[in-house]
Structure 1
Amino acid sequence: MTEVRGRIWRSGKPVDGFTFEAISDCLAAEDTLVWADIYNPDHDDLRRLAIELGLNIWAVEDATAPMERTKVSVYHSYTFFTVYAVNTVTPTDDSTATLVKCRISAFVLPRGLITVRLPAVGPDGATPFDIDLVSQRFDELGGQEHGTGALVHGLLDVVVDGHFEAVQDLDDAIESLEDELFDNDGPRRGLQRRTYRMRKDLVQLRRVVLPMREVVSTIQHRRLDSRTSPELDPLYADLYDHVLRASEWTESLRDMVTSVFETNLSLQDARLNTVMKKLTGWAAIIAVPTAITGFYGQNVNYPGINTTIGFVASSTLIVVLVILLYVSFKRRDWL
């Protein structure tokens, strides 16, 4: 079901009375700034709004089409971009994904911002994107004073902060995998499956984070409207720096999880070699009494047959050889 909310600022002051039907009238007023948020939009309603506002029909298709990539497109009178807000959840099992994605598309107009959000994609019970936090960020930045640029920055700032939190959560999860690898009792069962799940989450996160550099850079170097304040330039520069850091962090985590994956395979081979070495050592020790008792089990006469001295001699030989082999193997760390 489509949900619509928004805010209006007139002459730098917030005012009540926002309605979906009045968006075009608000955008036409010189002293008005409007933000409209459309959640889970009906395609036909969004298409009619696009025609009314003169938006490119293909941009509208991109806003609602599934599996759209992160991107930015600059048109004559507005800018369109698509980004993904992400967060993480606690997995229910070793194969359940931890990453939750929510696609947000935005039409940046000279006097307003229209955001189009789709339902979150991820595990059951995934937390949707907190749009109230975006509204709160507008007030902190003084969106009514600095024009549309402040609204866009507030939205992107919340999205990038979510990227940082997701990267931090995945970093902590990978560190726990590394600690588990070298635990004295060995890794818990299912480590390989958890590592593979982490790799899949990082691939998804990388597809979301890396293209953000292009989005922020394009918006940073394009004046969104005549009222955009130069005071926002340092904020956009700081936002771009955060995007770069998130991208580099994601790349380093990709290398780390690959290292964990390969190290686990190497440790499994090393543990298998250790087990085989110990089994071989014990097999050699057990072979001594087997060989001696087998020799004395022949159906022929031999020195010491049916005598106490023969039994004592064979038993002493077994004990001596077993002790010698045990000490020798122990020194070589074969047991």
Structure 2
Amino acid sequence: MTDTPAPNCSTITRLYEAGKVVAEGFDPHEIGDQLAEHPDAVLWLDLFDPDENDLRIVADEFGLHPLAVEDAVHDLQRPKLDRYPGHLFMNVYEVHVEAGAPQPAMRQTEISAFITERALITVRKSPSDVSRLIRRWDADAELAPAGGVGFLVYGLLDVVVDGQFAAARRLDEAMDRTEDDMLEEGGAPRSVRLYGFGLRKTLAALRRPVAPMAGLIADVMHSDSRLVDERLAPYYRDVDDHARRATETIDSARDRINHLLEADLNEQSTALNDVTRKLAAWAAIIAVPTALTGFFGQNVPYWGYGKFWGFLVSLALIVGTATGLYLYLKRRGWL
């Protein structure tokens, strides 16, 4: 076992036995010896951005299916749980949302996991904070003796789903702050409207990794590998509840933002109709005397008629009234 080559990518190793960490930070080529020395222990092996050669080494050590290894190498797999002889393959997404102006944004980390009888092997394809995962396992160490690898899988799913639920709530709270601004008289300002479109886009992006999680957790609980025993089942149901609430929060927020954007569009249409009515009324007021004077050919002398200064006065009046009307319409938002 000690002659087994080690992956060249960055790795994290931890060995759990009876709820305690009995070894950590050891080289991956020592995994076989560590498992043999501790027959009741379970392993967590984390690989950061491995290539095909790195995963081939791990696959040979644990008997992983080549199709699962292929999925772990390629990015942007859908959230899923696949069954293979001797192990499960799981793909999930850890997410983080920034809801600040001018545009909300979502960052996600794809995590693939091989679940064997004695090991949880995670493959991270972009940087993430694994300390949250370690703290969760350490905080729930009393579940480890009975749970085995199912305990490690529970910790991973709990951290992922909690992050997704927090992201959904963060966007929902941003919706609360935006709602009053979007329902202003005459329509929301352009910056608020663009932020609303950004919220809708981010919610749609967040739903893609979150919506399948409830079904994935159900598959884990009912898998033939007997990962989840009676003691762990309530904890998995709690994770499942959080996953469903995250999806419901996203769907509710999407409905709200769609209704808000529709209400804003209706408010803009109402304001435009009001402006059109006012312009039509003023046009009618001006058109009637213009038509009458044109019909009778009334072209009477004015102050300064036939004088150069009279021409300057009339030119100044034309420019001044046109400029004043432009500024007034601009201030009202009609131009």
Under TM normalisation by the shorter chain, which class is it?
0.7 to 0.9
Instruction: State whether structure 2 residue 56 is matched by structure 1 residue 47.
Output: yes
Residue by residue, what CA displacement relative to the aligned partner does 1:182-211 show, whole Å, maximum 9, x if unpaired? Answer: 124742223443333222222221111111
180-189 or 142-151, larger mean C-alpha shift: 180-189
Distance 2:233 2:132 in 1: 22
The aligned counterpart of 1:22 is: 30
RMSD between superposed Cα atoms in Å: 2.6
The aligned counterpart of 1:272 is: 272
1:296 deviates by 7.7
Q: Is the 8 A contact 2:47 2:122 kept in 1?
A: yes
1:137 deviates by 0.5
**Aligned match of 2:41 in 25, 32, 56?**
32
Q: State percent identity of aligned pairs.
A: 40
Distance 2:170 2:18 in 1: 42
Distance 1:92 1:180 in 2: 13
Distance 2:68 2:235 in 1: 27
Structure 2 CA distance for partners of 1:192 and 1:299, relative to 1, 3 Å = closer
Instruction: State whether structure 2 residue 260 is matched by structure 1 residue 260.
Output: yes
Q: Is the 8 A contact 2:186 2:270 kept in 1?
A: no
Distance 1:200 1:57 in 2: 36
Q: Is the 8 A contact 1:4 1:36 kept in 2?
A: yes
Q: Which amino acid aligns with 2:118?
A: R
Q: Is the 8 A contact 2:48 2:123 kept in 1?
A: yes
Q: Which amino acid aligns with 2:66?
A: I
Mapping 1:147-226, distance limit 5 Å: 147-184=148-185, 186-222=187-223, 224=225
The aligned counterpart of 1:140 is: 139
Q: Is the 8 A contact 1:110 1:225 kept in 2?
A: no
Structure 2 CA distance for partners of 1:293 and 1:107, relative to 1, 3 Å = same
Q: Which amino acid aligns with 1:41?
A: P
The aligned counterpart of 2:282 is: 282
Distance 1:268 1:40 in 2: 49
The aligned counterpart of 1:323 is: none
57-66 or 140-149, larger mean C-alpha shift: 140-149
1:257 deviates by 2.2
The aligned counterpart of 1:110 is: 117
1:265 deviates by 2.2
3-12 or 281-290, larger mean C-alpha shift: 281-290
Mapping 1:217-236, distance limit 5 Å: 217-222=218-223, 224=225, 229-236=229-236
**What is the SS of the residue equivalent to 2:46?**
strand
Structure 2 CA distance for partners of 1:201 and 1:118, relative to 1, 3 Å = same
**Aligned match of 1:66 in 75, 85, 94?**
75
Q: Which amino acid aligns with 1:205?
A: L
TM-score (ref. length: structure 2): 0.77
Distance 1:185 1:255 in 2: 22
Q: Is the 8 A contact 1:73 1:80 kept in 2?
A: yes
**What is the SS of the residue equivalent to 2:231?**
helix
Structure 2 CA distance for partners of 1:299 and 1:279, relative to 1, 3 Å = closer
Distance 2:287 2:118 in 1: 89
Distance 2:43 2:163 in 1: 25
Q: Is the 8 A contact 1:149 1:224 kept in 2?
A: no
How many residues were matched structurally?
289
Q: Is the 8 A contact 2:88 2:116 kept in 1?
A: yes
Distance 1:190 1:50 in 2: 51
1:22 deviates by 2.0
**What is the SS of the residue equivalent to 2:240?**
helix
Distance 1:195 1:157 in 2: 30
Instruction: State whether structure 2 residue 4 is matched by structure 1 residue 3.
Output: no
Structure 2 CA distance for partners of 1:88 and 1:15, relative to 1, 3 Å = same
